[in-house]
Amino acid sequence: MNKVAIVTGGSAGIGLAVVRGLITEGYKTFSLDLQPAPVGEWVECNVTDTQAVQSAVDQILADNGAIDVLVCNAGIHFSSTIENTSEADLDRVLAINVKGAYFAIRACLPAMKAANKGSIVLLGSDQCTIAKHNSFAYNLSKHAIASMAKTTALDFAAYNIRANAVCAGTTETPLYHKAIDSYCARSGANKDDIHQEEGKLQPLGRIAQPEEVANLVVFLASDKASFITGSLHAVDGGYTAQ
C-alpha cells in the first residue's frame, strides 16, 4: 500500500514541486488548497478554517487508513515595517502562515500517534533565522514556523514522529513573481533588473527553483531521514552563511 502524504498549499510553487516529488517516490499525495491541484489528489480547503482542515484530514484518513507525511507549505508573503502593518494585515499573515500549519499538525497528530510514526515538514524561509528589511509580519511568521518544528519534534519524539523545517531562500515561484510585480508597481523599477539583482544577492549567483527546495522536503519526509528531527535546514544558495 502506498504511503499517504498531505501537502497544504500544494497546487502551485514549492508546494506543487513537493507534490510531484512525493508522487515520484510512491506516495499517494493530497493537496489541501483553494486552487485545483494539477497533479495528485486535490481537496478544496481553506487552511485558515480549523474545521475545514479537520474535516479534510478526517476524510483522507477514513479513505486511506493512515497519514504518513504532512508538509505544511501554505503561506503568503507581505512586505511592510511594523509601523505600516495594520492589525488586519498581521492577522491575515499569521492566519495562513502560522495557524494554517498549527491546524494541520493538530489534525494529523492523532493518526500519527496511533501509528507510532510520522514525518512533518514545515516550509520555512531564510527568515526563520535572520531578519530582512520591510518584513515584519512575514519574518515573525517564519520564526514561528521554526519554533513549531522544534517544539513539535521534542513533544512527539516518543511517538516516533519527526518534525523539521526547510528554510528556503529566494525561490522562483508565483509568490515570488507577485512580490516582485508589487514592488515594481510601487517603485517603477524594471522587473528584469530586479530579478537579476535578486540573483546576485545569493552566493551561488541565482535564485532557487522550486524543485531544489522540494528535493530536501521529500528527503526529510522519507525514512532516509529517520534520525533527523527538530532541525532547520537551509536551502538558500548560501545566503544565510554570509
Q: In what order do the strands lie in the sheet with 4-8?
A: 41-44, 28-33, 4-8, 69-72, 118-123, 161-168, 232-235
Bridge partners of residue 30, in order along the sequence: 6, 41
DSSP-derived letter for residue 127 is G
Question: Is 138 part of the annotated catalytic residue set?
Answer: yes
Buried b (16+ CB within 10 A) or exposed e, 155-178: ebeeeebbbbbbbbbbbbbebbee
Give the count of beta carbons closer than 10 Å to the beta carbon of residue 217.
27
- Annotated catalytic residue within 102, 138, 176, 239: 138
Active-site positions?
A: 138
